[in-house]
A and B are shown apart, each in its own frame.
Chain A
Amino acid sequence: MLGALRTGRQGPVHRNSIHVYLATFILVVVTGLTLAGCSDSDEVEPLDGEVTLVEYHRALERARTCVEEAGFTPTGIQPEANGVLWTFGISDLTDDETEKAGEISDACIDKYAYEAEKGYFLANVPTGTERDELMSNVIECLESVGVSNVSPTDTREEITTKIVDTLPEYGPGLMCLEQGLALFPEVLYPSDE
């Protein structure tokens, strides 16, 4: 083909065919290089020491890309009500797609973001006066929605009991408890895990 190009003897139709072949070849090469670049970013970033917010977000972005490459449309990452963790969803799923999308999302997060998320969360578990302050905020929130008699030494189960016994629609109480998720890290990351 290159020999024919050099001699310049081919007619217009033949020349056009060569153009199409070469254009396709260039597209394939460019696409291949692009995909090769993507596969580099697919690698799980090794974490060394305390996980920063930047590293955590980078890991979540990788998980998002993984979901996107599986053919779904992830939302942007957004903060959760607990004030520490972030999350993303998947847009516009049909009922038939829900299960598959959930499996893909779980697998992508496990692969790319789980370790970073765990590291970041555990690095932000409050202790001492910070913990006392967070517990006070949770108790104040609960009182504002009508749940009283919560003690700073109450377990998560005890607080839950007081919420569901007091509020027929317990959502506002659970929202207050969610703000104190970092008070009970063993719920997300048990020590025997």
Chain B
Amino acid sequence: MSVLVGRLIKIVRSAVVAAVSLLIVGAIVAPSQAAMDPNCSLNNTTPTDDNTRVYITSYVSCQTYMGYTAVEVRGKIQEKVGPVWTSRTSDKTRYSAGTTYLSVDSSFVCNGHGTDWWRGYNYGKTSDGGSTSKSGRSAQLTC
């Protein structure tokens, strides 16, 4: 009986060693993923229109200069065509050496598109090199 218990202990020990090894290997092999610094957030305004063009603003907003700051923001406008989001503008980009608020405006002629869903798609980067991408809230607009 004691022999069986001893072997079971060895088996469990082997399982633990294998699990720890897998975790270590996973940590080494996994690519480094870095989000924008938590001091900052990426957003865009909900699309709005003046019956001619659709407008959005993409922005990175940081709480303080004490942490990492915003160095890049990109934004583009997408329209839902059938089930697919289609980019209607290319990325507009703005850079900074480091600031707490960095924004870029985008617009697109929606006149003639009737009633459609629109949204912004954004990218932001902070001074630590971390980046985040995000699709904005979609809005149904009639142009």
Taking beta carbons and an 8 Å cutoff, which residues of A are in contact with B? 5-6, 8, 15, 18-20, 22-24, 26-27, 30, 73, 75-76, 78, 80-82, 85, 87-93, 98, 101-102, 105-106, 156-157, 160-161, 164, 169-171, 174-175, 177-178, 181, 186-188, 190, 193
Contacts and interface: CB of A to CB of B under 8 A. Distances in A.
Contacts of A81: 43, 45
Contacts of A93: 131, 133
Interface of B: 3-4, 7, 10-12, 14-15, 17-19, 22, 32-36, 38, 41-43, 45-46, 48-51, 53, 55-57, 59, 85, 103-105, 107, 121, 130-135, 137-141
Contacts of A76: 38
B134 A20 contact: no
Contact of A164 (B55, B59, B133): B55
Contacts, number: 131
Given A80-B137, A171-B103, A92 B85 contact: no
Nearest to A165: B50
A26 B137 contact: no
Contacts of A80: 43, 137
A171 B35 contact: no
B57 A175 contact: yes
B3 A92 contact: no
A157 B11 contact: no
A22 B14 contact: yes
B43 to A, nearest CB: 6
Contacts of A78: 41
B140 A73 contact: no
A91 B139 contact: no
A87 B85 contact: no
Contacts of A22: 11, 14-15
Nearest to A187: B139
A36 to B, nearest CB: 18
Contacts of A85: 137
B25 to A, nearest CB: 13
